[in-house]
Each structure stands twice: as structure tokens, then as C-alpha cells.
């Protein structure tokens, strides 16, 4: 099960992920990110506090947008990942390509 | 040695069922949370590849999974009767290429290779068997 919610907290678009992302629902993640870009988002924060599982299908969605984010100057940060999910990002080296922060407080303080 | 068996249909919605089965099988082994998580992920990645690429999500096709726990090693045997895909022959893509080409695939096989200690593949009389092996020092 996966639920996604986008809220605007000026100047950020916050995408909250709740549940598990696999090949059956990664398209929902794709749609949500596309929607925020189309909405003119300049700062996208992904709240992964309640993301309990993500397979390569979901990770590939993030990867596929990295160039767009760079080209359009969109800030993209994922925060709140639990240790097991974070480790999966690290196995692939995605922690070197995506800005990952421990929690929302850190995000607000650092940016 | 106890063997646990599951049969799933070739549709991506079966992946949640696969994860629930793996949770049940792995739970009594008291692995670290990360080992448990990663083994589940690696097995799912192989099955997702088969479902999508070898079987084009044909719900009439099936995948059989057998999990064996033997002498300090866990063996996940995944069998199907689709087009043979030997991931050992698959050249893993460079991450930079994955980004540049906006590919959404290829990452799963990198994960499987990094998580598992050994991967075996054989194709015999129409049945493909992929064996993922994880060793634990006790």
C-alpha cells in the first residue's frame, strides 16, 4: 500500500510518502513528481518518515528526474528515511547524488 | 532443512504478497533489520524483473519461489518458464548512464548483486532457475 500527499508550504512543495513503493505503484510517485514540476515547484522536499520500503522501481523514478531538477534549478531533498530504507540508497550510491537529510528541522536549518 | 514455498502470478500486484511471505519466512531467523530488509528487496527485484520483462505481466504465468535455510546459508530459488534471463550475463549500467538516459531500469540488478553472496542461473528444458545465496557466519 502507498499513499502520497503533496502540500505546499511556501516556498516548498512537500511530498509525503506513506507505505511501500514497488513496481506496482512507482508510477504514482512518478506522477506526483511530474505534477509538482508542472506546478512550477522550485523546492521539492520528500518526507520519507513513513516510507517503509522502496524497490528499484521507485529509486529509478527519483534518478530519472535528477537531470530535470538540475536543468530547471529545482532543489530536491529527501528527509526522514529510516535506517533500512536509507541503506538501500547507500548501496546504490544514491546518497551521493541526492541530497538526503535526517529530518525536516535539519532541512529548514540548512537551506 | 525446512523449505518454504510460494507461487505467485506474473503481475506486479503480487509483489506485496511476495514481501508478506518473505517477512513470514525470515522473521523467525532473527536477522538484523537491514539483512531482513535487503534479502526481501533482492528477491523482489529478481521476481519483478521476471514479471515485467520475461512475462510482460501475463497473469496466467507463474513464478515459483523456494526458500531453504541450510548450514549457515539461505537459498532463494526462483523458477519460471519464461524467456531465460541470466543476470550473470547482464552488464550492470553505470549510474551516470542511468541518469543521463533517464532509464528507470537496471538498478534492481545492481542491488541483487550487491546484496547476495552468490547468484546461480540455469535453464533446463524450458525451466529457468535463479538461485540467490546469502551466507551468514554464526
pLDDT tens, position by position, B40-91: 999 999 999 999 999 999 999 999 999 999 888 999 999 999 888 888 888 7
User: What domains can be seen in chain A, in order of their start residue?
Assistant: 2-110 (3.30.750.24)
Chain B residue with CA closest to A27: the answer is B104
Task: Flag whether the ipTM exceeds 0.90.
Answer: yes
Model confidence pLDDT, tens digit, residues B91-131: 777 777 777 776 656 799 999 999 999 999 999 999 999 99
Our CA-based measurement puts residue A111 at a distance from the nearest CA of chain B, in whole angstroms, of: 25
- CB distance B80 to B96 below 8 Å: no
**Calpha distance A82→A76 (Å, rounded):** 18
Look up the domain containing B46 and give its range. 3-135
Overall domain count for chain B: 1
**Calpha distance B54→B90 (Å, rounded):** 14
Q: Which of A23, A59, A64 sits opposite B15 (nearest CB)?
A: A23
* Cβ pair A60:B99 closer than 8 A: no
Query: What CATH code is carried by the domain that includes residue B87?
Result: 3.30.565.10
Question: What are the DSSP calls for chain B, one per residue?
Answer: --EEEEEEESSTTHHHHHHHHHHHHHGGG---HHHHHHHHHHHHHHHHHIIIIISTT-TT-EEEEEEEEETTEEEEEEEE-SS---GGGPPPPPHHHHHHTT---SHHHHHHHHH-SEEEEEEETTEEEEEEEEE---
Amino acid at each position: 500500500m502507498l499513499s502520497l500527499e503533496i502540500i505546499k508550504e511556501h516556498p516548498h512543495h512537500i511530498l509525503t510518502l506513506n507505505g511501500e513503493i514497488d513496481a506496482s505503484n512507482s508510477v504514482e510517485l512518478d506522477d506526483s513528481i511530474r505534477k509538482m514540476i508542472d506546478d512550477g515547484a522550485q523546492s521539492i522536499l520528500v518526507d520519507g518518515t513513513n516510507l517503509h520500503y522502496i524497490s528499484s522501481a521507485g529509486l529509478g523514478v527519483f534518478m530519472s528526474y535528477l537531470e530535470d531538477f538540475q536543468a530547471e534549478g529545482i532543489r530536491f531533498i529527501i528527509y526522514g528515511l529510516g535506517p533500512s530504507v536509507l541503506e538501500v540508497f547507500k548501496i546504490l550510491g544514491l546518497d551521493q547524488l541526492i541530497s538526503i537529510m535526517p529530518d525536516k528541522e535539519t532541512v529548514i536549518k540548512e537551506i | 532443512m525446512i523449505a518454504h514455498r510460494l507461487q505467485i502470478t506474473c503481475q506486479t500486484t503480487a509483489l506485496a504478497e511476495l514481501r508478506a511471505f518473505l517477512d513470514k519466512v525470515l522473521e523467525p531467523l532473527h536477522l538484523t533489520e537491514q539483512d531482513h530488509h535487503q534479502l526481501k528487496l533482492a528477491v523482489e527485484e529478481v521476481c519483478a524483473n521476471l514479471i515485467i520483462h520475461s512475462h510482460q505481466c501475463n497473469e496466467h504465468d507463474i513464478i515459483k519461489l523456494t526458500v531453504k535455510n541450510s548450514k549457515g546459508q539461505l537459498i532463494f530459488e526462483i523458477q519460471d518458464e519464461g524467456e531465460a534471463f541470466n543476470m550473470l550475463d547482464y552488464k550492470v549500467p553505470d549510474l551516470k548512464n542511468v541518469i543521463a538516459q533517464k532509464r528507470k531500469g537496471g538498478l534492481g540488478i545492481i542491488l541483487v548483486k550487491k546484496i547476495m553472496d552468490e547468484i546461480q542461473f540455469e535453464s533446463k528444458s524450458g525451466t529457468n532457475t535463479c538461485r540467490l545465496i546469502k551466507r551468514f557466519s554464526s
